Structure 1
């Protein structure tokens, strides 16, 4: 079972597709088929496919032994040839990340189907990434007090343009109850002026490992 690499012993690759809702399942099936090729590549650790509950996103939280292993996979002509079907969909947002914050109420976070997930995508200019990381560290403790939030895992893209919070919730009801609380979202967002944010809720639909 994949775990969040809090000590950065693996390179994390997060790939997020925008998709028309009627094509979401087709995209998931296409990624799964390509996964048969990917899992045979040197250095591959895991791929974890998520679909957004609103139907407009598909996300792959993937792990490789090193950044170089992932880059070699991208340069492998035979592997990339089998990726042709995926090119029929929208170009995804794909970056290599390192885990910079991991807070959990249940020990080392495990990627498994019992959770509802959120990908909070923060986009910024490279000169703002360090400030975004600092703000995340300042605010994660408050977030972990929320009922139903199991873990919050912030990732920094190596190119400086992204920070992603990959969070786990015990169930969707906990999120809906949070939204009903007086004052929810009334405060100024801590990232305002530093980054643009987009977030969606997901369920994990498939995990592929090198085993």
Structure 2
């Protein structure tokens, strides 16, 4: 079961795909499962496939040993002439994001560990924020260490902040938030709290994030498949 940790040991790649029908989402998931199950790339550690919930699409949370290993994969004939063309036929957008994990937080009951697996029942949200290069570190802090108030939110489990390094399909700098919740109801209830009724710490953080972000996109997911090297 892959674990998320801000220990600097891995390059974390988050591949986000959008599409426009349920049938195309199923095709995406089938293609991703096939690739993950056959993965034997030098430096590849694990891949965890997510199915879109609020909007059609998929996410693949991938751990690599290094940027060099990933770029070797991208330079390969299979990726250039089979994988990318296949995804291009059934997606409306492709974002290949290279990141480092900057922050993790968990409910105390999880003993400081964030796990991702289809054997768990997490309702997962992935939020992508654009940011000016000069403001990236401040946004990382606003989305991470400044959000301890989440520990008191019903249904909250974990969240991870990823510092964007480079990407295909995204211009400029970015920050990603990967969060886990008990269920859709808990996540939606948290999001639906009127601004005027939010706790003061949340209001301050929300204002800070709005002042720093240049754009934002999001979707929710369920983990449907995972595999790690050696399995």
TM-score surpassing 0.5? yes
CA contact (8 A) 2:6 2:103 kept: yes
Within 5 Å, give how 1:39-78 maps onto structure 2.
39-78=39-78
Summarize the Cα distance change of 1:61–1:41 in structure 2 as closer, same or farther, 3 Å threshold: same
CA contact (8 A) 1:34 1:82 kept: no
Matched residue, 1:110: 115
Which residue of the other structure, out of 170, 173, 182, is the alignment partner of 2:185? 173
In structure 1, what is the Cα distance between the partners aligned to 2:6 and 2:219? 23
Matched residue, 2:31: 30
Question: What is the TM-score with the length of structure 1 in the denominator?
Answer: 0.89
Which one is further off, 165-174 or 183-192? 183-192
Summarize the Cα distance change of 1:135–1:181 in structure 2 as closer, same or farther, 3 Å threshold: closer
CA contact (8 A) 2:55 2:219 kept: no
Summarize the Cα distance change of 1:206–1:34 in structure 2 as closer, same or farther, 3 Å threshold: same
CA contact (8 A) 2:143 2:177 kept: no
What are the Cα deviations for residues 16-48 of structure 1, in whole angstroms up to 9, with x where unaligned?
1121133211111122222244x2111111111
Summarize the Cα distance change of 1:18–1:189 in structure 2 as closer, same or farther, 3 Å threshold: farther
Higher helix share: 2
Matched residue, 1:194: 212
Summarize the Cα distance change of 1:90–1:82 in structure 2 as closer, same or farther, 3 Å threshold: same
In structure 2, what is the Cα distance between the partners aligned to 1:138 and 1:4? 16
Question: What is the TM-score with the length of structure 2 in the denominator?
Answer: 0.82
State the Cα distance separating 1:184 from its structure 2 match: 5.3
The reply to whether residue 7 of structure 1 matches residue 12 of structure 2 is no
State the Cα distance separating 1:63 from its structure 2 match: 0.7
In structure 1, what is the Cα distance between the partners aligned to 2:64 and 2:115? 16
In structure 1, what is the Cα distance between the partners aligned to 2:190 and 2:132? 31
CA contact (8 A) 1:140 1:152 kept: no
State the Cα distance separating 1:79 from its structure 2 match: 4.4
What are the Cα deviations for residues 114-140 of structure 1, in whole angstroms up to 9, with x where unaligned?
211010111122222122113224532
Which one is further off, 93-102 or 20-29? 20-29
